[in-house]
Structures are given as C-alpha cells and as structure tokens.
Amino acid sequence: MLSALAEGESEIVNFLPGHDCVATAKALEALGVPISWLAPDRLLVRGGTALRPPRGVLDCGNSGTSMRLLAGLLAGQGVAAELHGDASLSRRPMRRIIDPLALMGARIEALGEEGRPPLRIEDSSGIKGISYRVPVASAQVKSSILLAGLGARGETCVSEPVPTRDHTERMLPSFGVSIERSNGRACLTGRQPLRATRIDVPGDFSSATFLLLAGLIGPREIRVDSVGVNSARTGFLRLMYVMGGTLQIAAQRTSGSEPVADVMASPSMLQGALLPASFVPSAIDEMPAVFAAAACAMGETVIQGAEELRVKESDRIAAMVSGLKTLGVVCEETPDGARIRGGGVRGGEIDCKGDHRVAMAFAVLALAAQAPIVVRDVDCVDTSFPGFAEIALQLGLNLEPIE
C-alpha cells in the first residue's frame, strides 16, 4: 500500500503469496496501481499516480487486515470504493475503523448489520488529521488511521492502550515519511511525499509459530531461519518461556527496519501456568498455538485477556475449546480465554471453522496425540501459509488427504 503511494518503482522481496497478501495486491491493481509479478515471492510496484475508483467491488477475501487498511488508504486519498469479503470476513466488526475515519471527515459506512462489511467509501475532497486513542489493542485500527493520515491535512496522532504490532510505523521512514513515536503514541503530518524503496520482508512469525510449536511438542528440535522477531509480534515466545518451553534465538540482525533472527525450539516438558494477559496482544494471532501447547502441558493453564479472539476469522476461543474437548482434553471457555488441563490428547475429528490458524494448530497437535486427528475444511490454510502441508511432512507429521 505504501509502494502504491510512493513515487517510482518499489521492489518487494520475500513476498508471502498467501491468499491475504494476494488479495491486497489484486485490490491495488484494481485501483490502477501497476504491479509486475517478477516471481511468486517478488513484486515490482509502480506508484506515484493517483488511485482511481475501481470498476467493481474490491474483494478482500478472508483478510481483515486488507479491508481495514485499504479503508484507511482510500479514505486518505478520497477514492470511492466498496470493500467486500467472504462469509467469515463479513462477520467481523468494522465500527472500530469507521468511527475514527469518520471523525477525520471520511464518508464511510458499513452495509452489513451492526457495523459489519461490506464497506462503502465515498469520494471526498479531503480529510483532516485527528488525535485518536484506540479503545482496543489493534494494530489494524492503528495502521488504518495512519494510512488515512498520509492523505490528511495537518497532523494525525494515534495512541494505544498497550503496544501492538508496529510494522507500519517502522516501514514509513523507509518511504521517506517522518513519523514521531514515543510512549505508545505515533504522529505524522499528512501529505508528505513518499519515495520508492526496496522492502525485504522477514519470515512471518505467525507462520513460524506453528513450526516452533512442532519443535516444542514433537520428537526433535526445529529451527526456523530468518524470521521476523519484532518484539510486538513475539509474545508466543514469552508465553512459552512461562510454560517452560526451550527456545533459543540466534544470529540476530536487521533486515530493513525489522529485527530478524534464527529461532530454535526443542522438545520440552511444558508446565501449566497462569499466562500473563499483558503478553497476549503481541501473540494474538498465535494464540491457537498457545491453546495447543496448553493441551500438552502438565497441569492447568489459564489464558486471559484474549477476548479479541472472539472476532477473528472464527471465534477462536470457542473453536479451540470445542476441538480440544473432542480430543479428550479437559477445558472450559471463559469470556476472555480458557482454562485448559493438559497432559493427554486423544485422536478425533475437528471442525476448524474455516480458520487457517485453528487448522494448523490442530494439525501440529497431532504430533502429541495418541491417535490420528482429522481436520476438516483445511483449504483455508493457504490464506496465510501456502505450502504448510509440505513443510509439515518434513517435520514428521504423517499427513494424508481425505475426501
């Protein structure tokens, strides 16, 4: 999205060709941005020309990130469009971005019930910067407002209650944008020129998490090389340390504006624990793996402060607890998490609710199960991790497709 606004050609290396990322790229092409697909994981984006209204709706697929960030981008540029998604995305709350964008002067409305997609954005003559405190810990909301702020008059400031992923703030200076950050607050002045650059994308920590889970609960050590270890994303590591997991970080370095390292996970005797709620925002996308780890731990694990999981691609609290019960794990939902008594996982058939991270969590949990686990509706995994099945086979998972 930043490359689309930047003058010149930006090269994106190590692009993840999952459905979510591809949906974003296709939406930008529909807005008139020339994109050359040099390879499945390498793009050349020619930016600097005004975005144009698309001829049809913009299909965000399953990606809440795409919809929320595109809404901010379009509002800031004053471009009219309708943003649609699949059935899962159409159930996700959008009032959290509609309200601040409307305060900036954007004309935006939800066409679904109770502030849910599709979203309609009308063209506008320009929006103004605001100072806004995000009521929920959400990097998507923060980034949506900052992207809108790029096209706004004056200064836009966003404050957040607890630190969340900060990839947008880190990347903006690479495109020549001046941004001030301090004490959970980010401010930028609108209508700064953006210049093209090269972006080397680190390995996705959310995808790496499921491989690291395999190392913790499986029979052998697993190393994931060149993965992003931004502290706003690595709450999973901190939660596993609390549970006694053996994890090592080596060869730390920087790629562009992001910290990168090699991460090793070794078979561990995990222990149940009261997990600090303060770690959850930096592990929110990885929490299904935490539920799976808890099922393998000795004693009770208490997960709290994770109510945001209720409004992901599925209700991930309900999906994980239901699946774990099917596998014989003693557990119960709480409003903001779960209580899970680990120590034994039987086999069974799981409905992953069409959620890619739930599907991968149960697939990896099969390493510790006493009998096969059948996971239905797994096409969704390509949303974020194309090639997961092939890698899982290399890790020792005995995967067999079924009809």
Bridge-based pairing state of the strands 246-255 and 300-303:
unpaired
8 strand-pairing partners: 47
Q: Is the dihedral of CA 112, 110, 122, 74 positive or negative?
A: negative
Placement of tokens 């499986």 in the chain: 218
Closest CA to 285 of 309, 311, 257, 260: 309
* E runs forming strands in 66-178: 81-84, 108-110, 119-121, 131-133, 155-159
Query: How crowded is the C-beta side of 85, counted as CA atoms within 13 Å?
Result: 31
Asked whether 209 and 364 are in contact (CB, 8 A), the reply is no
Tokens of 398: 């005995």
Asked whether 218 and 367 are in contact (CB, 8 A), the reply is yes
300 strand-pairing partners: 341
d(CA 40, CA 214): 27
Which one of the listed residues 59, 166, 285, 351 is annotated catalytic?
A: 285
Closest CA to 263 of 238, 292, 288: 238
Q: Check residue 27 and report its DSSP letter.
A: H
* E runs forming strands in 229-355: 246-255, 258-266, 300-303, 330-334, 337-341, 348-351
The verdict on whether 285 is a catalytic residue reads yes
> Could you give the residue numbers annotated as active site?
285
